[in-house]
Amino acid sequence: MTVALGFCFFKTASAQTDVRTEAKQIVDTLTSPGFSGRAYNGGDKLAAQFVLNFLARQGLDTSRQFFPISVNTFPSNVDATIDKKRLRAGKDFIVDAGSHAAHGTYQLKHIDFPKQYDSSTNTLSIKGKSKQWLWYRKDELPDKLRKSWSSDVVQSKAFGANGLVEVTHKLTMDESMEVNPFSEIIVLDSAWSRKPKKINVDIDQKFLEGYQTQNVIGIKPGTQVQDSFIVVTAHYDHLGKLGRDVYFPGANDNASGTSMMMELAKTVSQHPLKYTTVFIGFSGEEAGLVGSHYFVEHPVIPLDKIKFLINLDMNGTGEEGIKVVNGAIDTLHFDKLKSLNEQNDLLKSVQIRGKAANSDHYFFSEAGVPAFFIYTLGGIEAYHDVYDRPETLPMTEFNDLHKLLLLFLRSF
C-alpha cells in the first residue's frame, strides 16, 4: 500500500518535470574545461562548491567534510616522440598514473616474451639498462603473468631500464597514491611504429601530499522518522588533467551519477521521505574510494541508523537497463527494486551482481550498511579517457531511472 501511494504521488509530480533536461545542464557544467577534470588542481573544489550550492538552493542542510589525499599528478609538460613521430597526449598515449618524471632520449628495446619468458618457472630473463626504455604489447603478455605483471614491474624497477612502454588497444587513465621509481607510458597500437628505435620524453610529475579535498553533504529531515536515514551518494571527482591542455571530462564517470543524486535531492526536498534523507557527493573515488572510506571512519551520521544506501556511478546510458552491485547479497531489496521496475514498465532490465569493491558503496557495505551500487548498461564505451564527453553521452534512460529510484526510496 505504501509503495502504491508513493508511486501515484510521484507520478503526478514527475509529469510536470523532465529531470533529464536539467541533468544534462549539470553534466555540461561539471565536464566543462573550467572544472579541469574535477581533480586535485582546484577542479575538485569548484565541483564541490557547485554541488553544495545546488543542494543549498533546494533547502537542504548542507555541510562539508574535509580530508587529506596524496596523489600523483602531471601538471605541465607531457610529451613523447617515437623516432620522429610526436604522439598526442590523451589520444595517442597517456602516462601511467604512478609514473615518475622523465626527460631525455632513450633506446627502445622490445620485450620478446616467447624468448624471455620461462613458463615452467614463471620467470622472465629481462635486463634493461639505464639508457633504455623497454616496450611490450599488452596482448602478448603470457596468461600466467597477467595478474602479477604490475607488481612484477614495480618490484623489479622496470627490470633495470629507465622506463617502460605498454602498447595497447585502449587508453584507460587512472590515479595513483604512490610514485614508482621509473617512468611508464601507454601508447595506442594505432600510433605505434612497427620497429621503433628511440623514444624522447619530456614528462613533468608532481606528487601532492596531504592535498585537502572534501565530501559535500545535504540533509532533508524525514516527515516521520528523523533519527534514521536513507542515503544517496555519488562521487563528483574525476581524473583531472594530463599536462597543461588535456583534461578528462568524465561525463558518464561520474557527472551523470552526480547529476542523478542532485535531481533526486531536488525532488526529495519538495516531497520529503518518511526517513531523513542524506545526499553525499564524494571526492577521492578515482584514487581508491578515499572520500567514502574517510566518511565511514568519520561518520557524520550513525552508520547503524542507515536504513539503506544507494550509490550512483555511471548513470548516463541505460539502453540495456541497470546493474545492481550487492543485489546477489541482498536479494530482498533487489527483488523489490526489480518488481517496481516491472510493475511500472521503466527499464529494459534490472540485472543482479554480487559484491564488488568498485565504487563508494563498498566501505559502507563492509561496515554493515545495506547498500546497492547502481550503474547503467549499454550505450557508449568511453571510460577513463578523453572521449567521455557530454556531447556523446545519451542519458537515454535517465528519466526512467530517476522514477525507479524514487519509487524504491519511497518504499522504505
| Shared domain check, 165 and 37 | no
What is the mean pLDDT of the segment spanning 322-335? 98
Q: What is the mean pLDDT of the chain?
A: 94
Write down the pLDDT at residue 220.
Answer: 98
Least confident range of 8-12, 142-146, 159-163: 8-12
| Shared domain check, 161 and 190 | yes
Condensed to tens digits (0 to 9), the pLDDT of residues 239-275 reads 999 999 999 999 999 999 999 999 999 999 999 999 9
| Shared domain check, 176 and 50 | no
| Shared domain check, 378 and 282 | yes
Please identify, among 203, 224, 253, the residue that sits at the C-terminal boundary of a domain: 203
| Shared domain check, 175 and 109 | yes
| Position 48 pLDDT exceeds 80 | yes
Give the range of the structural domain holding residue 162, as residue numbers without chain letter.
Answer: 77-203
What is the mean pLDDT of the segment spanning 12-39? 86
Write down the pLDDT at residue 407.
Answer: 98
| Shared domain check, 255 and 380 | yes
Write down the pLDDT at residue 240.
Answer: 98
Please identify, among 153, 172, 203, the residue that sits at the C-terminal boundary of a domain: 203
Please identify, among 203, 218, 242, the residue that sits at the C-terminal boundary of a domain: 203
Write down the pLDDT at residue 17.
Answer: 59
| Shared domain check, 227 and 346 | yes
| Shared domain check, 225 and 199 | no
Angle between helical axes of 398-410 and 257-270 (0-180°, round to 10)? 50
| Shared domain check, 318 and 392 | yes
| Shared domain check, 158 and 199 | yes
Least confident range of 80-84, 127-131, 297-301: 127-131
Write down the pLDDT at residue 16.
Answer: 45
* Angle subtended at Cα 54 by Cα 53 and Cα 58, rounded to the nearest 5 degrees: 115
| Shared domain check, 83 and 62 | no
How many domains is the chain partitioned into structurally?
2
Condensed to tens digits (0 to 9), the pLDDT of residues 83-97 reads 999 999 999 999 999
| Shared domain check, 334 and 274 | yes
CATH of residue 136's domain is 3.50.30.30
Write down the pLDDT at residue 194.
Answer: 86
Higher per-residue confidence, 5 vs 381: 381
Write down the pLDDT at residue 242.
Answer: 98
Task: Give the SS3 label for residue 311.
Answer: strand
pLDDT band at 297 (very low <50, low <70, confident <90, very high): very high
CATH of residue 374's domain is 3.40.630.10
CB 257 within 8 A of CB 264: no
